[in-house]
Structure 1
Amino acid sequence: CEVRPGPEFLTRSYIFYANRLFKAYQFYYRDPSCRDPTYSLVIKGKIRLRQASWITRGATEADYHLHKVGIVFHSQGAMQETVARINQTSGEQCSGFLSPGRTWTPGALYELLSAKAERDCTAGLGFAMHELSLVRVEKYEQPLLLQKSQGSRDVEELYLGDIHTEWSERLHYRPTGYQRPLQNAM
């Protein structure tokens, strides 16, 4: 469970494909133990690695483009809170993102951002994927600590750019450091 300023509590999962497309899942929670889910984001886009960073040693700078961002609410209360924030802080195109009286539908995916429809209602969540503009992958062997087993296992970690601690700056911030690494689960 990651803790971000706000406070925000989340877990993340990213899948990168050979054709430069990616799919990311971000699961947000109400509590620091990540046991009480509020909503999840499903993010699809494309990433292009550019060059070695001049600012951050070992990092690669990247460009990314978001194709879609969807949200799934995990309770009626979470839906009402989040929709109120989106309707209040987003532009005209999002003022009626979901009507206030709409009831929660478990598992329903609501589109926040669509590149095709030129609609972006993510600002109310303080959402940006600028973490993808600074990337680093590290591979190493980790010794096995079992009593009878000798050897090691390969570990691959993904370092993504840090996010700004101030919500108002997140949408404009360009990372110069890293968040805690994510481990390859494959």
Structure 2
Amino acid sequence: MKAIQITKRAAGHYTAATPAGVYAIDRIGRTWHLTGPRVARTFRTMRAAVATAHTLRPTSPAGGMSVRLIKLIARTHAAAQRVTKALAYRVRSGQIAADLENGRLVRTGDILERLGAGDLKDGYQSWYGKHVKKAFVAALGADPVRCWVQHRTTGKWIRVHVYNPFDMALYIGLATYKRTAHLARPALFQAAYTEAA
């Protein structure tokens, strides 16, 4: 326990200087009252009031947090650890996941599905995705946005790049990857027609 300094102001009235601040210890009738920043407690004896003053700790400049708030935060953390994986990853992705579900963003696998090449092996789809990312970075000088999704075959949660459905990088990637090059011309016509409509 850190030492505190007790100063007598008058009979039954003391000041306690503690690391947490300055507190008043006053006798009112048969009880002793400890009052100060964030504290107002009543005790039967002065010794109990002084013992409590010893336990007071300094808080942050903003005033610290109440015990109730600390317990609420602890309960929230405990609850967050028990949510399902799907909800946890959905929350991590936030608005990006919502845009992906609504079709405002697409994965490279979604483009292949639309073109009838959804049965392409995972490894080949991955290489197509690498070609798309390379084209995107070359055009904009930055990585595309990423989103947490469940892998279509393994069910594991993975981060994938997502794009605007009309992003030219998707179609450049089709043309530059030999296993999807045959899909590039129909895809460009389809994208141009959809955008014009």
Same topology, TM > 0.5 = no
- TM-score by length of structure 1 reads 0.23
Structure with the larger strand share: 1
- TM-score by length of structure 2 reads 0.22
Greater C-alpha Rg? 2
